[in-house]
A and B are shown apart, each in its own frame.
Chain A
Amino acid sequence: MAAGLKTIIALSFVLAIGFLLVILSSALWHNFLPLLVVATYLLAPLPNWICGRCSNPDDFMESSSNAVIDIGRFCTGFFVVMGIALPVLFAHCGLIQVPAMIMSIVGGLLIYGTIISFGMFFQEEQDF
């Protein structure tokens, strides 16, 4: 995978736009609850990394190591949906405005997409 300099520059631009959207969604209304979205999306890939390190990839016939990986994936799915559901919850309960909800969701998805594509671009070189 030829992930050159252009990929890194593009990914960092997208990450900056995502953080810009989330910070604007908080700062424009002086209500800093949407910043929780960033914490959620930063937490989301963490269970996969931890559980992938805990399980032994050599004995894939062993079901216990597979179960550990499954727990990590379950938690990741949980955190991703939490990052979308949290702004919707805040907006529905009147804690933040609806435009702030949209901005924080879009910004959070951009941040998470950056993390995922960064992992996809630069993981394969380490493995093999």
Chain B
Amino acid sequence: MPSHRLFQLPKPQWLNSANMRTSGVYLSGALFALGLFFFVDAAAYSHSPKNGSDVHIKFIDWIPGICSTLGMLVVNSIDKTRLTGDDGFSYSGNGVAWKAKLVLFLGFALMAGGLAGSVTVMVLKYVVPDYPFPTLYFGVANVIANGLIMLSSVVLWISQNMEDDYTYNLAL
């Protein structure tokens, strides 16, 4: 691996252990659950008797979360080894890497669109009409939920890339 390294500093050694990889996957699931429950909490609060205003969470608020989750599904269901195999003589020279990159781009676009959409919903539905805070919390929770789903996806991606180095070290 060191022959085609990208960054100047080497990756720290503790990042390559199998324990870090396992806990990274657990952490990713935990972050996803935290994000989802932030938003479910906001949705439940908006229909509970403690909600003073008559603003409720509708289907519009759910759309960014659905986009983020779909994007996370797409990004993490791609086999990472297909991405690097476009150098002419490898087994996936027949355009598989190109297709994988296209699908990966769609996944990242869905995730970024989800985050941007949550900010849009917050601004247009809650900030512009100038609601006070218990109502503004619905929009803030939406942004937090989408950010946490994106963070969970990043953690899952990093820990699945750890796996490659780990198995590579085992193979030598």
Contacts and interface: CB of A to CB of B under 8 A. Distances in A.
Interface of A: 60-61, 63, 66, 70, 73-82, 85-86, 88-89, 92-95
Nearest to A64: B79
Contacts of B45: 92-93
Contacts of A86: 37
B167 A60 contact: yes
A120 B167 CA distance: 25
Contact of B32 (A66, A74, A89): A74
Interface stretch (B23-31, B91-99, B100-108, B119-127): B23-31
Given A73-B26, A89-B37, A93-B44, A78 B167 contact: no
B44 A73 contact: no
A88 B141 CA distance: 15
30 contacts: A60-B167, A60-B170, A61-B167, A61-B170, A63-B163, A63-B167, A70-B25, A70-B156, A70-B160, A73-B25, A73-B26, A74-B26, A74-B32, A74-B156, A78-B29, A78-B32, A78-B33, A80-B33, A81-B30, A81-B33, A81-B34, A81-B37, A82-B33, A85-B33, A85-B37, A85-B41, A88-B41, A89-B40, A94-B49, A95-B48
9 smallest beta-carbon distances between A and B, as pairs: A77-B29, A81-B33, A85-B37, A74-B29, A93-B48, A77-B26, A77-B30, A73-B25, A78-B29
A117 B22 CA distance: 18
B33 A77 contact: yes
A89 B25 contact: no
Contacts of B33: 77-82, 85
Interface string B20-62: 0010011111101110010011001100111000000000000
B171 interface: yes
